[in-house]
């Protein structure tokens, strides 16, 4: 069974009920709704479609609402586009009208640009395809010289090499979209371009004020966020989940630094107990081709072997010709990479934020016990808030892990965790008899090849009490049996 999860972006190529079902069956675990496109009504209808399809398939699927954030852009050209040549003079003019751009200048939707750049800066337009050297700033005009030319069309993004633009992480549109995310009961809300922990705390406050319990995803896109280990750790610890958003991040830090920064972010996320998603252009060629390139195969496999919880498809599944094939290919590559990984001693790093917690000590005991029993030992975690499951899943185990809860949204949030299968399970008592739990897993067809089961409840870790229990149960000779009276309701999230 594949452990690495797949996040698939929905769009024009994949929004029908039939396509949503095909993507789930192909291996999608979480669907991303890109709030940079579409209306609130369209997102609500799509979320309803996802929930209905997942219920019909008796599975758990997460929904990630991705806020647009403060994308800084040029304005429009009178003729829609121009061609810039190396050495041309070109002006970004904050005082120019929105459709008055020409061969020599264009407006911008970010008037503060003139206060935040200086002579010597390099501006990167259209994800770095166009590069401009800033010669001087005069009033409302940024005067530049073209370093890398090409076709420049309306509304392309502006970045500064090395970062430094201070646009706030949450725009007026984002704040409206947070209300939409609450209406559609999003399991995750992604914050674009956060600069610091304060940006994420503002987002968390606004999201919680709506009544939403969505997990907060920090999209790492700014150079200043990865300028040091301390800066990385600040963002990681302020979030619930990290997304390595390689598009804008790669533009700001340069492609030479990007691989090392990606690896470091994944490593720090695992050390600090945060799930991590690796995103952007992972299978880009599959927008128009039915098979990935070898470079894309290695890119996905490399992220899997580094320990990412999830890999993400953007335009490949939203607008490409082969969305189902892209998910199938990603699932196949992830599984193959996992099978090539050698079993390791469970990694347990005590960071200051994790120190001296009895629940985490029990999680370590659970991991060590399971590891000593090899892959035929599974771990069943009874959870109310998810912290215990996250702690155990951080250990780099090859053992299957099941998260059992009667909280549907919590189980949807578990769909992002590497190696974790969420199962809806209604307990009959505070400590249900282990036969009841085993029967529920059998009913969900989860115990094939499993010879022993470590049943864990880590209440102290989740702030739900002080009862931490780990019980190792042999499944030898246990016959398949129906769920006992006072039945458990079971729904399972499959990773193909």
CATH of the domain at 256: 3.20.20.60
What's the pLDDT tens digit per position in 283-331?
999 999 999 999 999 999 999 999 999 999 999 999 999 999 999 999 9
- 372 domain residue, yes or no: yes
State which residues form the domain around 121: 81-160
Task: Tell me the catalytic residues.
Answer: 32, 73, 219, 280
Please count the other Cβ atoms lying within 10 Å of the Cβ belonging to residue 196. 16
Statement to judge: residues 292 and 191 lie in one domain: yes
- 488 domain residue, yes or no: no
Confidence of residue 495 (pLDDT cuts 50, 70, 90): low
Rounded distance between C-alpha atoms, residue 194 and residue 67, angstroms: 11
Instruction: Give the domain-ending residue among 160, 190, 210.
Output: 160
What's the pLDDT tens digit per position in 46-90?
999 999 999 999 999 999 999 999 989 999 999 999 999 999 999
In this predicted structure, the answer to whether residue 355 has a pLDDT above a threshold of 50 is: no
CATH number at residue 423: 3.40.1380.20
In this predicted structure, the answer to whether residue 36 has a pLDDT above a threshold of 70 is: yes
What's the pLDDT tens digit per position in 182-237?
999 999 999 999 999 999 999 999 999 999 999 999 999 999 999 999 999 999 99
Note the pLDDT of residue 375: 74
In this predicted structure, the answer to whether residue 342 has a pLDDT above a threshold of 90 is: no
Instruction: Identify the CA nearest to 53 among candidates 11, 25, 26.
Output: 25
Note the pLDDT of residue 360: 56
Q: How far apart are the first and last CA of the chain?
A: 6
Statement to judge: residues 45 and 95 lie in one domain: no
Please count the other Cβ atoms lying within 10 Å of the Cβ belonging to residue 104. 11
Statement to judge: residues 300 and 360 lie in one domain: no
Note the pLDDT of residue 213: 97
In this predicted structure, the answer to whether residue 460 has a pLDDT above a threshold of 70 is: no
Statement to judge: residues 174 and 150 lie in one domain: no
Rounded distance between C-alpha atoms, residue 170 and residue 193, angstroms: 9
Statement to judge: residues 300 and 431 lie in one domain: no
CATH number at residue 132: 2.40.33.10
Note the pLDDT of residue 440: 81
- 97 domain residue, yes or no: yes
Mean pLDDT of the chain: 89
Confidence of residue 398 (pLDDT cuts 50, 70, 90): confident
- 484 domain residue, yes or no: no
State the average pLDDT over residues 103-107: 98
**Using DSSP, how many helices (H) and how many strands (E) does the chain show?**
16, 21
What's the pLDDT tens digit per position in 421-433?
999 888 765 555 6
Q: What is the DSSP string of 75-107?
A: --BTTSEEEE-TT-EEEEETTS-TT-B-SSEE-
Cα Rg of the chain, angstroms? 24
State the average pLDDT over residues 459-475: 70
In this predicted structure, the answer to whether residue 352 has a pLDDT above a threshold of 80 is: no
Rounded distance between C-alpha atoms, residue 483 and residue 487, angstroms: 6
Note the pLDDT of residue 388: 86
Of 371 and 214, more confident: 214
């Amino acid at each position: 069974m594949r452990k690495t999860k797949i996040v698939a972006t929905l769009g024009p190529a994949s929004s029908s009920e039939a396509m949503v079902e095909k993507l789930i069956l192909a291996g999608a675990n979480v669907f991303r709704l890109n709030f940079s496109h579409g209306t609130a009504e369209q997102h609500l209808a799509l979320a309803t479609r996802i929930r209905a399809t997942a219920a019909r398939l008796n599975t758990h699927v997460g929904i990630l609402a991705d806020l647009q954030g403060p994308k800084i852009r040029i304005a429009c050209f009178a003729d829609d586009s121009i061609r810039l040549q190396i050495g041309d003079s070109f002006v970004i003019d904050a005082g120019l009208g929105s459709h008055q751009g020409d061969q020599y200048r264009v407006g911008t939707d970010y008037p503060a640009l003139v206060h935040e750049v200086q002579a010597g800066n390099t501006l990167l337009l259209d994800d770095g395809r166009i590069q401009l050297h800033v010669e001087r700033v005069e009033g409302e005009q940024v005067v530049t010289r073209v370093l890398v030319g090409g076709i420049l069309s309306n509304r392309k993004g502006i970045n500064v090499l090395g970062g430094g633009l201070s646009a706030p992480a949450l725009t007026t549109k984002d704040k409206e979209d947070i209300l939409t995310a609450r209406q559609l009961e999003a399991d995750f809300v992604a914050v674009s371009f956060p600069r610091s922990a304060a940006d994420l705390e503002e987002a968390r406050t606004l999201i919680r004020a709506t009544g939403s319990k969505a997990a907060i995803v920090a999209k790492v896109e700014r150079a200043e966020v990865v300028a040091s280990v301390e800066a990385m750790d600040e963002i990681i610890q302020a979030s619930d989940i990290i997304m390595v958003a390689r598009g804008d991040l790669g533009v700001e830090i340069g492609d030479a630094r990007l691989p090392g920064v990606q690896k470091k972010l994944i490593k720090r996320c695992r050390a600090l107990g945060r799930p991590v998603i690796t995103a952007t252009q992972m299978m880009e060629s599959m927008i128009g081709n039915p098979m990935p390139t070898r470079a894309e195969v290695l890119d996905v496999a490399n992220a899997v072997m580094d320990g990412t919880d999830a890999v993400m498809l953007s335009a490949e599944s939203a607008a490409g010709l082969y969305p189902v094939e892209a998910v199938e290919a990603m699932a196949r590559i992830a599984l193959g990479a996992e099978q090539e990984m050698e079993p390791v001693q469970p990694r347990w790093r005590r960071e200051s934020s994790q120190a001296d917690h009895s629940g985490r000590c029990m999680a370590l005991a659970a991991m060590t016990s399971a590891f000593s029993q090899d892959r035929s030992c599974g771990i069943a975690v009874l959870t109310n808030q998810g912290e215990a499951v996250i702690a155990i899943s951080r250990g780099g185990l090859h053992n299957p892990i099941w998260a059992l809860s009667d909280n549907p949204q919590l189980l949807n949030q578990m769909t992002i965790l590497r190696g974790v299968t969420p199962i809806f399970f209604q307990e009959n008592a505070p400590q249900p008899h282990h036969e009841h739990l085993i029967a529920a897993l059998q009913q969900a067809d989860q115990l094939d090849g499993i010879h022993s089961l470590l049943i864990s409840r880590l209440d102290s870790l989740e702030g739900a009490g002080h009862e931490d229990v780990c019980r190792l149960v042999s499944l030898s000779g246990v016959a398949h049996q129906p769920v006992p009276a006072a039945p458990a309701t079971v729904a399972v999230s499959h990773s193909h």
